[in-house]
Amino acid sequence: MKTKYIFVTGGVASSLGKGIISASLARLLLARGYSVTIQKLDPYININPGTLNPYEHGECYVTEDGAETDLDLGHYERFTNVPTSQANSVTTGRIYLSVIEKERSGGYLGETVQVIPHITDEIKNRILLLGKTKQYDFVITEIGGTVGDIEGLPFIEAIRQLRLELGKNALCIHLAYIPYLAAAGELKTKPAQHSVKLLLEQGVQPDIMVCRTEHKLSDSNRSKIALFCNVEKSCVIESMDAKSIYEVPLLMKEEGLDIQVLKKFGINTKTDADLKDWTAFLKKLFNPKHEVTIGLVGKYVELKDAYKSISEAFIHAGTSLNCKVNVKWLDSEKINDKNVKQQLQGLSGVLVAPGFGKRGIEGKIVAIKYVRENDIPFFGISLGMQCAVIEFARNVMKLRDAHSIEMDENTNNPVIALLEEQKTTSGFVGNMRLGAEDCFLKDDSLAKRIYKKSKISERHRDRYEFNNAFLDVFENAGMIPTGLNLKGLVEIMEIPKHKFFIGVQFHPEYKSTVENPHPLFVAFVKAAMSN
């Protein structure tokens, strides 16, 4: 089968859940036996979200091959269990960078370099590349932002051209918001109609309308949307608020989204999507037998999207154990020696979050001291592990000024430091360790018991590392490195005397999916349950 391209645009408002709709459609197509990948095109000028404050777009998600991407890619992987890559995340910045680099190296000699055709050609290449590198049956391309945004214009123009070039092998799904006017007591379809008008002005006619709504669409709502947006009535798909994002594939199936897509492509719809495992997951998710409360200590607590992959990993792990995990969000800036007991009261486990920079660091260290001394299950991720190392050095090894050189360049005890080779790398993002790396686990460690194998591969996003000059002193004091990479860098730290105390330099949360809950999260939730 020739690769089919599905474009997903959004109208009326942002945050309607284009990512979840794209991921749900992918799930449905996978459940019919097709191969599918999802790509996100983001109209902002940053090369990637790696340098963005989480307040802007939430968490930065990292792929196997080290792309720093939008958090929607996390949803794609969690729903599909198919890894994404550099090619699945493209920003305006990256497009312009490629075009400008090509211009500088003489690639367009004699030509005036313009938005059309050069920028749009580059966008089209990035979309088509996914169908070429691996022969996917379907490539779903989600366009970030809302139609009408100035910065989104080249992307919509690229879609217009591609639809013409690909003919029957491309279609467009437009997701629009249908607001409910309480005073009038009715749903209003006009904003959605207007957003389709905007798309039409740019030359794109949607084939399918997905209508995000808080109330059920009436038959006359559907007729109106069909009439004014030029789509068949069967292609007006209702997308109601769901109890969980993981319910959306089922809701989309009930509305026939996958069937309409297949019909538009002229593909046989006789076989059905096999969602047995997905339904079983939902059944467990909605009927937990146990409940546990875990503290998540971070500095973006008012912004839960900053730790999206962690909270989703808890859902996957908890569900596999028939357990509802309540996450209590704790602001590390508000934790101190005096209130730590009260702040962590009633928690069955504590996770200390990843992060960058000094803000809130001392609160994390105080929280770790408390859980270490009180034998409460602890799980530290990246900066969380580094804080555990600092806390241990200060309070057990009595190196009072121990720190990471990220926070204190002049400490006499830099237990977390930069590698020599990193010091000479130029550029702000140049010396980051990004993407998957192998890690070797020591026999007789908690990590090995959890993973049940000696060699694992996990994703990184960090700049600083455990300083191996301190290896022996830590081991002698009872904090043991149990996972090392090929170069001998410490990836995992444990306190074996403790019930469950593990810190990892990598980010296991990125690899947790509905199909494969991450073993570290499962083990941590289990430890919390029996605490």
Q: How far apart are CA 93 and CA 46, in angstroms?
A: 5
- Can you state the angle between helices 257-264 and 248-255, rounded to 10 degrees? 60
Closest distance of CB 69 from ligand GLN, Å:
15
* Neighbour count for residue 250 (Cβ, 10 Å): 18
Q: How far apart are CA 372 and CA 378, in angstroms?
A: 8
Nearer to ligand GLN, 365 or 383 (CB): 383
Nearer to ligand GLN, 219 or 420 (CB): 420
Nearer to ligand GLN, 94 or 463 (CB): 463
Residues in Cβ contact with 254 at an 8 Å cutoff, skipping those fewer than 6 apart: none
Cα 431 → chain centroid: 22
Closest distance of CB 354 from ligand GLN, Å:
3
- Three-state SS letters, 33-71: CCCEEEEEEECCCCCCHHHCCHHHHCCCEECCCCCEECC
* 281 torsion bin: left (phi>0), alpha (psi -120 to 50), beta (else): alpha
Closest distance of CB 40 from ligand GLN, Å:
21
Residues near ligand GLN, by CB under 6 A: 354-356, 382-383, 386, 406, 461-464
Closest distance of CB 368 from ligand GLN, Å:
14
Closest distance of CB 293 from ligand GLN, Å:
24
Closest distance of CB 404 from ligand GLN, Å:
7
Q: How far apart are CA 98 and CA 376, in angstroms?
A: 50
Q: Which residues pair with 41 in a beta bridge?
A: 90, 143
> What token pair was written down for 107?
């690639």
Q: How far apart are CA 134 and CA 147, in angstroms?
A: 30
Length of the chain: 531
Nearer to ligand GLN, 314 or 510 (CB): 510
Closest distance of CB 298 from ligand GLN, Å:
10
Nearer to ligand GLN, 112 or 410 (CB): 410
Q: Are 352 and 380 in contact (CB under 8 A)?
A: yes
> What token pair was written down for 21?
């709709």
Nearer to ligand GLN, 354 or 377 (CB): 354
Nearer to ligand GLN, 127 or 296 (CB): 296
Continuous segment of H or E residues that includes residue 379: strand 378-381
Nearer to ligand GLN, 204 or 350 (CB): 350
Kindly write down the DSSP assignment for every residue of 205-270, as one continuous string. Answer: --SEEEEEESSPPPHHHHHHHHHHHT--GGGEEEEE--SSGGGHHHHHHHHTHHHHHHHHTT----
Q: Are 76 and 19 in contact (CB under 8 A)?
A: yes
Nearer to ligand GLN, 155 or 524 (CB): 524
Closest distance of CB 383 from ligand GLN, Å:
3
Closest distance of CB 463 from ligand GLN, Å:
4
Q: Are 254 and 260 in contact (CB under 8 A)?
A: no
